[in-house]
Chains A and B, each alone.
Chain A
Amino acid sequence: MSAASRLGTEPNRVTRAVILGVVGGIFAIPIIAMIQFTFRDGLAGGYTVTHWTGLIGEDAARTYRILFQAIGNSVVLAIVTVAIVLLILLPTMILVHLQFPKLKRVLEFICIVPITVPAIVLVVGLAPVYAIVVRLFGSGAWTLAFAYGITVLPYAYRAIQSNLDAVPVVILSEAARSLGANWPTVLRLVLLPNLRRGVLAAAFIAVAVVLGEFTIASILNRTNLQTALLQVSQSDPYVAAIFALLALALVFGLLLLIGRLGAPRNRRTE
């Protein structure tokens, strides 16, 4: 490390500490302010813990009904979206990888399109589509997951694809086939265990994206965690801030877990 530092390719310890300290410090301010805000006692000044304790009181379930209902909606949406990733995207990716190598570029292109088509643009065209969806499936909160499956496509694709690229999937499955395994067995005992990290990362990132989604739900007049937070913030900004913080902490935990699962780069060198 010292050699690299002497050659000038890496920052020395002081430079590193200064850059990370200054940027980190500035980035901490809004979060600290939000935490401090949840302890504020109205505009009068002074501090209180009642905003936090109020959440576990007897009336909480009634007072914050909209919020709890919205959290329920978001959890259901996260589950259905993960199911879409696991049951529609994952099998297609494995199939394309094994049987249609020529379609790889096409699949990649499709999965990256949602980055170029912003949610606020997609929602313009989703409105008429959802008029039909509601007629077919009813207006249950979970139906929004169809749109979210598209939103998470680029992230889920990247997570699974980097795992697919790092594991000799074709060789493994042909070895298993030549030893007499049928396709369901290959999938269950050979492919899925090898793709566990990529699949888990895809699932977590899908949960993170769904919990943070606001645009589509808000324009289509649905209730999810984020739209409810905005709504509640009009009447009780403290509770809204508390839940925003909790959601942030939860998603940070999820993504830290993804990091621990190992980046594809680490795996390749193992």
Chain B
Amino acid sequence: MTVANAPALTSGDAGTTSRRHPLSEPAPGRPHRRGLGKYLGLTPFAFYVVLFLAIPTILAVTTGFFTEDGRPTIDNVAGLFAPTVLTAFGNSFLVSAVTAVVGSIVGALVCYALLGTKVEGALRSTINSLSSVLAQFGGVMLAFAFIAALGTQGLVTKVLADLASVDLYANGPWLYKVPGLLVVYLYFQVPLMVITFMPALEGLKTTWAEANATLGGTRFTYWTRIAFPVLAPSFIGGLLLLFANAFSSYATAAALVSQGSPIVPLQIRGALISETVLGRENMAGALALGMIVVMVVVMWGYSVLQSRTSRWQK
């Protein structure tokens, strides 16, 4: 079962749990404990997941097919092809793709630089913890930090203007628009790649390098013939995870973008909290459906590549 089946299967998940019970008898030879009682142990989790994961997900992706008063319609889904929405999807793709490619390359370089350092050493554990913080804790803080650094009154902006007379804002307030997101998102993309890709790089075995050397190979052939092909699935997997991460990111953009809703998550916010146009909540459902479709495709690719990687990582 893969992550990719998410929306289709979340509905059935908890259901399968309870339906499967009679099938999952204890292994032969093991005493049958407390009969039905042990199945009851699964109900709190099943109940919780149905209420707060399955139902919200189903509601999110289906409301797009209904009008405000509950009649079925395809207007909202058709609304996905309106120019503003298409532009938002285009921007989201652009931001996610660019930051995923740059982030995964820089992240992989950092992982490479960490090869050969002690796994439990201070350097490695500090970089690990820093990466986890920066990968997960972006959001509002990140917007503040970049406004303080690159904003119109930012430290870097001023230093560049004073020392090199470079005007970062010659072309307008880019930081608060899509180009700004490109820069700021890298700040959590690179650390996420470091966390994701490090295990794969550590899995490279010294014996492979030795075999390469014994057979007359050079460093170059080691990397091109052995390391890169072996690492390719996990690298591309990491790239897809980064894409999904940027695509679904909301907080940083919400705190940074000053005008309009240039990316899809901000479009959803606009549709949800709009007080001027009625029936927009169902448009949020259609947008959510669009996002889920993209996420499922990307995460499906990720899980396929992950299972391919885990074959040799063990």
* B148, B219, B254 — most chain A CB neighbours (10 Å): B148
Nearest chain-A residue to B27 (Cβ)? A101
Interface size class of B (residues with CB under 8 A): 35 or more
Q: A61: CB under 8 A from chain B?
A: no
> Which among B27, B251, B291 has the highest number of chain A CB atoms within 10 Å?
B251
Residue on B with the closest CB to A212? B137
Task: Flag the segment in B67-75, B83-91, B152-160, B163-171 that touches A.
Answer: B152-160
Q: What A residues does B79 contact at CB under 8 A? A: none
| Structural contact, B48 and A149, CB atoms closer than 8 A | yes
Among residues of A, the one whose C-beta sits closest to the C-beta of B118 is A1
From the candidates B3, B141, B190, name the one contacting A116 in the complex (CB within 8 A).
B3
B136 within 8 A of A: yes
Mark contacts of A65-82 with chain B using CB atoms, 8 A cut-off: 1 yes-contact digit, 0 otherwise.
000000000000000000
Tell whether B305 is near chain A: CB-to-CB under 8 Å.
Answer: no
The answer to whether B20 and A212 have CB atoms under 8 Å apart is no
B125 proximity list for chain A (CB < 8 A)? 256, 259-260
- Range of interface residues on chain A? 35 or more
The answer to whether A117 and B6 touch across the interface, beta carbons within 8 angstroms, is yes
Residues in A with CB closer than 8 Å to B114 are 16, 20
Cross-chain contact A112 with B129 (CB below 8 angstroms): no
Question: By the criterion CB–CB under 8 Å, are A258 and B299 in contact?
Answer: no
Q: In chain B, residues 287-305, which have Cβ atoms closer than 8 Å to a Cβ of chain A?
A: 288, 291-292, 295-296, 299
Q: List 24 A-B contacts (CB under 8 A).
A: A8-B209, A8-B218, A8-B219, A11-B112, A11-B115, A29-B149, A33-B150, A34-B145, A37-B144, A95-B38, A99-B33, A102-B20, A103-B24, A109-B1, A117-B6, A120-B265, A121-B292, A125-B55, A125-B288, A129-B51, A214-B250, A219-B269, A219-B272, A247-B137
B→A interface (CB under 8 Å) = 1-7, 9-10, 13-14, 16-17, 20, 23-24, 26-27, 33, 38, 41-42, 44-45, 48-49, 51-53, 55-61, 63, 106, 109-110, 112-117, 119-120, 125-126, 128-130, 132-134, 136-142, 144-146, 148-150, 153-156, 187, 190, 204, 206, 209-210, 212-213, 218-219, 222-223, 227, 244, 247-251, 254-255, 265, 268-269, 272-273, 281, 284-285, 288, 291-292, 295-296, 299
Pick the 10 closest A-B CB pairs, nearest first.
A8-B219, A118-B248, A125-B56, A125-B59, A33-B149, A125-B60, A10-B116, A30-B145, A214-B251, A19-B113
Residue positions of A touching B, CB distance < 8 A:
1, 3-5, 7-11, 15-16, 19-20, 23, 27, 29-34, 36-37, 43, 84, 87-89, 91-92, 95-96, 99-103, 105-106, 109-110, 112-129, 146-147, 149-150, 153, 208-209, 211-212, 214-215, 218-219, 226, 229-230, 233, 237, 240-241, 244-245, 247-248, 251-252, 255-256, 258-260, 263, 265-266
